[in-house]
C-alpha cells in the first residue's frame, strides 16, 4: 500500500512539474481570469509574424558574457498541443517530450543574433490580470556535431526553453532563457528541471 501511495505521489509531482514547463505560471494570474484582448505578445499570425528581440546576460559561471536572441512568433500552441505533451511525458518521460515536440509543426523560430537558429515547436501565452502576458516557448535543442560525435553528457539535455513576461510598457519586459535542460526524477522521487548550463537572464526585451 505504501509503494502504491508513493507511486501516486511521484506521478502527481511529475504532472505538476510538466505543467510548470508547458503550462502557464500563476505568478501574476488568478484562477478564472479571462484573457485580455490585445495583450502584448498575443497577436502573431503566419501572415503577420511577431519578432521579439532580447539580450541574454550570463549568470554565475557565464557572468559577463552576453549575446542577442531573436524570437519569431508565427502562431501559438493550443490546448491539444499541451495535452499531447503531457501524455507523451506520462508515457516516456523526457524522451517522450522530445519525441512529441519533434512531431509538432513549427510555431516559430529562435536564433542567436547572426545565426539561422532553429524551429520552436511549442509557444503558448497566458494574458495576466495586470495587462501583461506570460509567454513560454519549449523546443528540442539543436545538437551540435561535436556533441554527437563525442557523445558528451550534454546530449541528455535535449530541451530548450524561454519564459517571457511582456507588459504594455515594454521597459518592464523580462525573461529567462534555458539553453539546455531536461526533466528527471531526483533521489526523493521529485521531478526537477535540470539545467546543463545556468539560466540566462533576458533584458531589453522588445517586440518589433
pLDDT band for position 127 (cuts 50, 70, 90) = confident
Instruction: Please tell me the predicted confidence (pLDDT) of residue 198.
Output: 76
Question: What is the C-alpha radius of gyration for the chain, rounded to an integer number of angstroms?
Answer: 17
Instruction: Please list the alpha-helical segments (H only) found in the chain.
Output: 2-22, 79-103, 145-150
pLDDT digits (tens, 9 = 90+) for 158-178: 688 888 999 999 999 999 998
C-alpha torsion angle, residues 20, 142, 107, 77 (rounded to 10): -20
DSSP 33: P
Which of 1 and 196 is assigned the larger pLDDT? 196
pLDDT at 156: 54
pLDDT of residue 164: 95
Our CA angle for 87, 105, 18, nearest 5°, is 30
Q: Supply the pLDDT for residue 113.
A: 80
What's the confidence (pLDDT) of residue 117? 86
107 versus 194: the higher-pLDDT residue is: 107
How large is the average pLDDT for residues 15-42? 54
Residue showing cell 511525458: 89
**Banded pLDDT at 7 (limits 50, 70, 90):** very low
pLDDT band at 63, cuts 50/70/90? confident
Q: What is the mean pLDDT of residues 137-165?
A: 61
Q: Write down the H helix ranges in 49-156.
A: 79-103, 145-150
- Asked if pLDDT for residue 64 goes beyond 90, the answer is no
Question: What's the pLDDT band for 22 if we cut at 50, 70, 90?
Answer: low
Confidence of residue 142 (pLDDT cuts 50, 70, 90): low
Amino acid at each position: 500500500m505504501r509503494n502504491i501511495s508513493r507511486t501516486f505521489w511521484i506521478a502527481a509531482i511529475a504532472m505538476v512539474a510538466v505543467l510548470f514547463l508547458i503550462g502557464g505560471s500563476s505568478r501574476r494570474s488568478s484562477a478564472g481570469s479571462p484573457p485580455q484582448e490585445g495583450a502584448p505578445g498575443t497577436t502573431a499570425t503566419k501572415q503577420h509574424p511577431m519578432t521579439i528581440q532580447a539580450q541574454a546576460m550570463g549568470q554565475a559561471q557565464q557572468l559577463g558574457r552576453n549575446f542577442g536572441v531573436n524570437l519569431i512568433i508565427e502562431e501559438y500552441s493550443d490546448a491539444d498541443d499541451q495535452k499531447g505533451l503531457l501524455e507523451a511525458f506520462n508515457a516516456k518521460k523526457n524522451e517522450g517530450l522530445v519525441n512529441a515536440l519533434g512531431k509538432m509543426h513549427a510555431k516559430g523560430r529562435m536564433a542567436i543574433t547572426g545565426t539561422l537558429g532553429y524551429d520552436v515547436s511549442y509557444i503558448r501565452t497566458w494574458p495576466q490580470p495586470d495587462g501583461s502576458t506570460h509567454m513560454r516557448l519549449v523546443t528540442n535543442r539543436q545538437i551540435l556535431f561535436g556533441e554527437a560525435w563525442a557523445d558528451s553528457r550534454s546530449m541528455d539535455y535535449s530541451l530548450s526553453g524561454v519564459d517571457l513576461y511582456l507588459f504594455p510598457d515594454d521597459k518592464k519586459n523580462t525573461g529567462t532563457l534555458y539553453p539546455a535542460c531536461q526533466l528527471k526524477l531526483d533521489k526523493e522521487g521529485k521531478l526537477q528541471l535540470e539545467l546543463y548550463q545556468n539560466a540566462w537572464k533576458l533584458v531589453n526585451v522588445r517586440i518589433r
